[in-house]
Amino acid sequence: MQIFSKTSLVLATLASLSLTSTTISATNTKTLNVYTYDSFASDWGPGPKIKANFEQQCDCTLNYVTLDSSVGILSRVQLEGSSSKADVLLGLDLNLMEAAKESGLIIEHDVDTSKVTTPGGWSDKSFVPFDQGYFAFIYNTETLKDIPQSLKEIVENQDLSVIYQDPRTSTPGLGLMLWMKSVYGDDADQAWQTLASHTKTVTKGWYDGYSMFLKGEADVVLSYTTSPAYHMVVENESKYKAAPAVEGFYPQVEVAAQLKDAPNPELAGQFMQFILTQGFQGEVATGNWMFPVIELGDALPKAFSGLEQPTKVLTLPAEQVAANRKQWINEWLDSVTQ
């Protein structure tokens, strides 16, 4: 008997609890779920400020669901399928766009992208870019005297020890593969072999390689042209520089997309518009250590204006990349494992 009364008491409490929670959610504003990678939403990333800026104008709550990487974002929604609670995906990149489109999970946006400053402008109807940068090799000015002036010099200088990331498992690694392909074309296999002879190691992710470089393991490491800005702004350290490349740099553009089955399509649309405004773009430079995709003028931090700029931008068409990616990865593998 006593057990019975206890159970009913618990049930009653639970019922009242659920009642209160429903009343709260009825009066509360809507929640926009944005899937992004963890460093974007972290305290030191651009996420918190962007959230505050957006919430000021939307009368809603912006909720970040964080994944471990940009690939993680895509595989998560692919796993969830149409039952996903995601409204917006934030943090895919150029090379994931085709795969994301093929998944059939995203819809086209109606954002005016004419102001976008990515190389060659932006015309894609499914994705809105939110930041950009270029892959580059970083060196330490205190230890490296003979500065490579081009990708060719990095590939061919046998005295230069190099660390880069695996194109099978990391974004910059894939970026380098495309960079090599656009510089060397059909001779890329030869170039990979030459590079392999003075490669210190190839790492799984960006962080392994970059931290090993900071410990002094290699002369140059593959990263972004914007990397030195972090050291300048946060550590007040200017010894790290990006090596120039006369052939041109290969770009990295990070993009956002709205989901077809977004629970809050209106809010999601509003957020897509917000991406190309000052409230979002003003935070990406020192938050995500990338360039904004619209002209910010004086609002861009000083450290960024002194960074290595591309003399030319190399890009391979997305369809060509998607069609040949596996084959190019195999070419890389065969060349470097010989």
Partner 1 sequence: MRLVFFGSMFVINMLPAMLIILVFSVVGIASFTALLLFQDLSNWYQVLSSRYIWRLLNFSLWQALLSSTLSLLIAIPVTSALMHRRFKGRDFLLQLFSISLVVPTIVAILGIVVVYGRSGWVTGVSGVELPLYGLFGILLAHVFFNMPLAVRILIQAHGLIPAGQWRLSYQLGFSRWNLFRWVEWPYLRKALPGAFLLIFMLCFSSFAVVLTLGGGPKSSTLEVAIYQALRYEFDIAKASVLSLLQVFVCTLVAFLVYRFASVYQQDFSLKRLDSFPVKDSLKARCFDLCFLCLALLILLPPFIAILTPIFSPLFITTLWQENTWLALWVSIKIAFPSAVLSLVIAMAFVVMARACMDKPGWSWLPNKLEYMGGMILVLPSLVMATGLFLLLRNLGVAAFDLAYWVVVWVNAIMALPFVLRVILPTFYQQEKRYRKLYQSLGIRGVARFRLEWPMVRQAVAQACAYALLLSLGDMSVIALFGSQGLTSLPLYLFQLIGSYRIEQGACIAVILVLLCFVLFSLCSRVIGGKRNA
* Shortest CB 327 distance to partner 1, Å: 13
Asked if residue 41 binds partner 1 (CB under 8 A), the reply is yes
320 contacts partner 1 (rule: CB under 8 A) = no
> What mask, x for binding partner 1 by CB under 8 A, covers residues 265 to 294?
------------------------x-----
Binding characters for partner 1, 114-143, by CB under 8 A (x = yes): ------------------------------
**254 belongs to the binding site for partner 1 (CB under 8 A):** no
79 binds partner 1 (CB under 8 A): yes
230 sits near partner 1 (criterion: CB under 8 A): yes
Strand partners, 33: 63
Tell me if 111 sits within 8 A of 133, measured CB to CB: no
Considering beta carbons, is residue 38 or 308 the nearer one to partner 1? 38
228 binds partner 1 (CB under 8 A): no
Strand partners of residue 202: 164
Write the secondary structure of 292-335 as one string of H (helix), E (strand) and C (coil).
Answer: CCCCCHHHCCHHHHCCCCCCCECCCCHHHHHHHHHHHHHHHHHH
Residue in 54, 64, 135, 304 binding partner 1, rule: CB under 8 A: 64
Smallest distance, Å, CB 104 to partner 1? 13
Contact present, 231 and 240 (Cβ < 8 Å): yes
| Contact flag: residue 93 with partner 1 (CB under 8 A) | no
DSSP string, 233-266: HHH----EEEPP-TT-BPEEEEEEEEETT-S-HH
- Count interface residues toward partner 1 (CB under 8 A): 57
**Are the CB atoms for 107 and 259 separated by under 8 Å?**
yes
Measured from the CB of residue 72, what is the shortest distance to partner 1 in angstroms? 7
Name the minimum Å distance from CB 173 to partner 1. 10
Which of 51, 109, 181, 200 lies at the binding interface for partner 1 (CB under 8 A)?
200
Number of Cβ atoms within 10 Å of the Cβ of 9: 10
Sign of CA dihedral 325, 95, 192, 189: positive
Distance from C-alpha of 151 to C-alpha of 188, rounded to nearest angstrom: 12
Separation between Cα atoms, residue 80 and residue 75, nearest integer Å:
9
Contacts with partner 1, residue ranges (CB under 8 A): 38-39, 41-45, 63-69, 71-72, 74-75, 78-81, 83, 99, 161, 166, 168-169, 196, 199-208, 210-212, 214-218, 227, 230-231, 234, 289, 330, 332-333, 336-337
